[in-house]
Structures are given as structure tokens and as C-alpha cells.
């Protein structure tokens, strides 16, 4: 472990770097190198004797939080009771970051896909356990998981429950079912969020349809150089899953068009707003469906490939069919959500070099399970979960079934928040869950 320490707004920050195996199940050697994993530890004044909490970030592919001020919001609440560890999950941030450039050192799509199988929930749990041993001297710690971070926590309860003093989930209890079942429900939730948005701003429906039709017939380019397609444009619907999502989307669609030389074009401001919403961390796109693959022993034994699940299902779902005429008002026309399409990889410059690698992952049939229902059924680790009733990304039906599968889990079901409830202004989701786990 290598550590750099400094003070930030009265908080002591320890930046830790660890050399850990690519594959924790095998000895380190030429075929199993070490990778660097980064964790930022935050301690409030006079908080040196507090127990530890590790934060598992949403994703996959997103680095740990980098807030300029950690004394407010959910981090400030956590620091009242804990030393807080903000982990950059392997492949993100400062933890051996993965993108087209760094993966270019691996010489084929199949080899890159094999390498990426070591960047799922199970290996992140093994990293956390190695870090815990170093930081706490072997004492268990609390783990807070937001979204995909809750998926990691479910793997943690399955694979290394002895390392946990307690587990908190915020919008992150994964479905223990086949990927197609998960995506069918996310499409239903996304359609519901579209309808809620258009009830508030009915005039925006015509604007969305006109923008989509315009992109079908007219070349418009993002600042990164690629043509914006109708399908990729619809991905702005990701915003609908957040607390202020309907509001910010309405602002985006207030006036997308300008007239240039008598021709209707999309404004620079609008295209910049779309770009901010549809660009993604490469690892988020590449691993997005792989995190659901063979997730339990039963699913692993079935050996089904993910095979671009979200794209396959969209072809049969009213409102999401890719090639429908946007101006045909007899058919619903919805913005999409967290639905990864192969077409994005053909258009996004950050993803395009990784298309073949992601195809190889989508074909893969052999996956190690990351959740063990038999272990979860005998869980003894205190656990509490916030399940958001209208969650667009993690369907409540599956979350509640998983809560039942994890023995002793306390569940708070609420429609006060969307998927980002943990960090929503004025929320006390963390405080509520700490109260549940201690009750």
C-alpha cells in the first residue's frame, strides 16, 4: 500500500494505492499480473477512532465520487459515524482505468473480452476484502452501495460476508433472474417515466418526434465529430430516471431548432446538451450487460449469452421499436433509458474501437456466478435497502424479491425519490437506512 495524505476543508484525506491480482482466484504470475487499485479514505476531525464504511459506486464503469466538498450531502452524513472509503472500482478512475487506448495493449477482441471478465462484481469484492484487511486490521466494515454498488454488495454478502459489519442498498438490489426478464421490466418502467414526463409537458412530445424525424433525414453532428442518429438521440431519456430529470429534459426541448439559410437545423446548444447525455464511460458501455450474465449458479449452468438483450427486446416493444416513423402519432414514441444498443458502438468514437470486444462478451456462455442464493438465504449480516417505487433502472419487483432472498433485510419502499435518491438535494436516505439497520 502506498499512501498520500493531505487536508481538505478540515477533513483528512488518505489516498491509498494497492497492487492486487487481476484474478484473485489464481497466484500472481506472467498470466495473472497485478493491477493498481485506488481508494480515497476520508476522516473528519476527531474521527480517527470511528469504524469504517466503504462506498460502492453505481455503474459499471464509474469512478468513486470526487466532490469538491465532502462535508455536505450523504458524505457529510456518513462522516458523522464512519471513516469513509471511496473506492475506484477496478477499471475506473485511478484503478487501472480501461478504455480503447489502455485495452489496445491486449491483442485481440477475444483476449480483451477474457481480460474484462475479471472486472465484474466478484473481483471487485475481492479487491475490497484485500483493502479492508490493510485499512481496518481485519475488522469488518459497513458497505453502502448505490445502484450497481448494491449489486456488488449482493456479491459481497454471497462471497465474503465475514468482511461486513452491515450492508446498505440505495436503488441497488439486483434481480436474480435472466437478463431478458430484467430488461423487459426496465422498458416498462421507462415507458411509465416517459408518460409521466409528457403529462407534465405534453407539448414536448411533438418536439421529440420532430427532432427524431429530423435526425432521420438530416445530417447533424456532435462536437466529437460523429453523426447523431435517431436511435442514439433517444438515449437522452436516461435523465428521466433522476429526481429532476423531467425538468432538465424540458429545458433541453424548449427550442432545439434554428433556421440557417432557410433550412431547419438543430442548434449548437441543443447538440451540446444531447452530447452531455449520450456520451458514456467506455467501460460502462462495454460491461453493461455482462454484469447480468450467469449471475447465479443456476443462470451460470444454463450458459445463455446476453446477446445484446436490450436491443433484441426493443424490436417487439411498442414505443421503443427503433425504425418506427417518429411522426406517426398512432404509435407511441418513447425515449430510451439504460438500454445498451449495439448501434451506439458503431457511432460513439469512445466505444467504436471496442465493438468487437463487446460482441465477444455478448456471445460468451461461460460466466462465474456472482450471487449465491443459498448463502443469501442464511445471511446474518444486518442489511437495509431503499427501494424506489418508480425506479427506472432497477425494477422494484425484482428488488423486493431479492430482499426476500437475503435473510433479515429491512426494506424501505418509497416513491419520494427516483434512482438518485441518495444524492438528491435535501434527502436523508442514508440516515433513514442507518436507523433501520440499527433498530
The cell numbers describing 298, all together, are: 443456476
Please list the alpha-helical segments (H only) found in 121-178.
121-136, 148-159
Residue of higher predicted confidence among 126 and 315:
126
Domain end call among 345, 363, 381: 363
Q: What is the pLDDT of residues 154-165, one digit of tens each?
A: 999 999 999 999
Is residue 246 over pLDDT 90? no
Is residue 196 over pLDDT 90? yes
What's the average model confidence in pLDDT over 132-148?
Answer: 97
What's the average model confidence in pLDDT over 33-42?
Answer: 98
Tell me what pLDDT residue 245 has.
85
Range of the domain at 294: 179-363
pLDDT band at 236 (very low <50, low <70, confident <90, very high): very high
Q: Does residue 351 sit in the same domain as residue 387?
A: no
Q: Does residue 240 sit in the same domain as residue 356?
A: yes
Is residue 426 over pLDDT 90? no
Q: Does residue 379 sit in the same domain as residue 417?
A: yes
Q: Does residue 263 sit in the same domain as residue 171?
A: no
Domain end call among 323, 346, 363: 363
Q: Does residue 129 sit in the same domain as residue 16?
A: yes
pTM: predicted TM-score of the whole model, two decimal places? 0.97
Q: Does residue 205 sit in the same domain as residue 222?
A: yes
What's the average model confidence in pLDDT over 87-101?
Answer: 97
Is residue 202 over pLDDT 90? yes
Q: What is the pLDDT of residues 397-423, one digit of tens each?
A: 999 999 999 999 999 999 999 999 999
- For the chain, give the mean pLDDT: 96
Please state the domain count of the chain.
2
What's the average model confidence in pLDDT over 244-257?
Answer: 94
Q: Does residue 171 sit in the same domain as residue 198?
A: no
Q: Does residue 39 sit in the same domain as residue 72?
A: yes
Q: Does residue 188 sit in the same domain as residue 164?
A: no
pLDDT band at 425 (very low <50, low <70, confident <90, very high): confident
What's the average model confidence in pLDDT over 53-63?
Answer: 97
Is residue 31 over pLDDT 90? no
Phi/psi of residue 39, nearest 5 degrees = -140, 135
SS3 content of the chain, % helix, strand, coil (to 5): 45, 20, 40
Cis? peptide before 244, omega within 30° of 0: no
Please list the alpha-helical segments (H only) found in 160-225.
179-200, 203-217
Domain end call among 331, 363, 395: 363
DSSP string of 55-82? EE-SSSSPPPP--S--SSHHHHHHHHH-
Q: Does residue 322 sit in the same domain as residue 383?
A: no
What's the average model confidence in pLDDT over 22-29?
Answer: 94
Tell me what pLDDT residue 38 has.
98
Is residue 427 over pLDDT 90? no
pLDDT band at 191 (very low <50, low <70, confident <90, very high): very high
Is residue 439 over pLDDT 90? no
Q: Does residue 347 sit in the same domain as residue 381?
A: no
Amino acid at each position: 500500500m502506498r499512501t498520500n495524505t493531505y487536508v481538505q476543508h478540515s477533513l483528512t484525506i488518505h489516498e491509498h494505492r494497492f497492487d492486487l491480482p487481476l484474478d484473485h482466484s489464481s497466484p500472481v504470475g506472467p498470466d495473472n499480473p497485478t493491477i493498481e487499485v485506488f481508494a480515497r479514505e476520508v476522516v473528519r476531525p476527531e474521527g480517527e477512532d470511528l469504524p469504517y464504511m466503504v462506498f460502492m459506486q453505481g455503474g459499471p464503469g464509474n469512478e468513486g465520487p470526487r466532490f469538491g466538498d465532502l462535508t455536505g450531502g450523504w458524505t457529510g452524513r456518513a462522516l458523522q459515524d464512519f471513516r469513509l472509503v471511496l473506492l475506484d472500482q477496478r477499471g475506473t478512475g485511478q484503478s487501472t482505468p480501461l478504455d480503447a487506448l489502455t485495452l489496445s495493449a491486449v491483442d485481440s477482441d477475444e483476449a480483451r473480452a477474457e481480460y474484462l471478465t475479471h472486472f465484474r462484481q466478484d473481483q471487485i469484492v475481492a479487491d475490497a476484502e484485500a483493502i479492508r484487511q490493510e485499512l481496518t486490521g481485519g475488522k469488518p466494515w459497513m458497505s453502502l452501495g448505490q445502484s450497481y454498488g448494491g449489486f456488488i454488495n449482493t456479491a459481497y454478502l454471497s462471497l465474503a460476508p465475514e468482511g461486513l459489519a452491515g450492508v446498505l442498498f440505495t436503488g441497488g438490489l439486483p434481480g436474480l433472474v435472466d437478463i431478458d426478464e430484467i430488461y423487459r421490466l426496465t422498458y416498462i418502467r421507462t415507458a411509465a417515466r416517459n408518460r409521466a414526463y409528457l403529462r407534465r409537458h405534453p407539448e414536448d412530445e411533438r418536439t421529440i418526434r420532430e427532432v427524431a424525424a429530423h435526425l432521420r433525414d438530416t445530417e447533424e453532428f456532435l462536437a466529437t465529430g460523429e453523426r447523431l442518429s435517431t436511435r442514439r438521440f433517444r438515449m437522452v431519456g436516461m435523465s428521466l430516471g433522476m429526481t429532476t430529470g423531467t425538468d432538465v429534459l424540458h429545458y433541453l426541448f424548449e427550442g432545439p431548432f434554428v433556421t440557417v439559410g432557410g433550412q431547419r437545423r438543430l442548434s449548437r446548444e441543443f447538440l451540446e446538451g444531447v452530447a452531455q447525455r449520450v456520451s458514456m464511460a467506455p467501460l460502462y458501455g462495454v460491461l453493461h450487460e455482462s454484469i447480468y450474465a450467469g449471475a447465479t449458479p443456476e443462470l451460470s449452468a444454463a450458459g445463455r449469452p446476453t446477446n445484446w438483450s436490450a436491443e433484441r427486446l426493443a424490436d417487439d416493444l411498442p414505443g421503443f421499436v427503433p425504425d418506427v416513423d417518429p411522426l406517426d402519432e398512432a404509435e407511441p414514441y418513447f425515449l430510451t433509458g439504460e438500454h445498451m444498443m449495439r448501434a451506439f458502438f458503431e457511432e460513439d468514437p469512445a466505444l467504436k474501437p471496442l465493438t468487437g470486444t463487446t460482441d465477444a462478451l455478448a456471445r460468451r456462455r461461460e460466466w462465474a456466478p456472482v450471487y449465491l442464493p443459498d448463502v443469501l438465504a442464511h445471511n446474518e449480516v444486518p442489511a437495509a435497502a431503499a427501494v424506489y417505487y418508480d425506479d427506472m433502472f432497477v425494477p422494484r419487483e425484482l428488488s423486493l424479491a431479492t430482499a426476500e432472498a437475503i435473510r433479515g433485510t429491512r426494506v424501505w419502499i418509497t416513491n419520494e425519490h427516483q434512482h438518485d435518491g441518495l444524492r438528491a438535494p435535501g434527502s436523508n436516505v442514508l440516515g433513514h437506512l442507518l436507523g433501520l439497520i440499527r433498530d
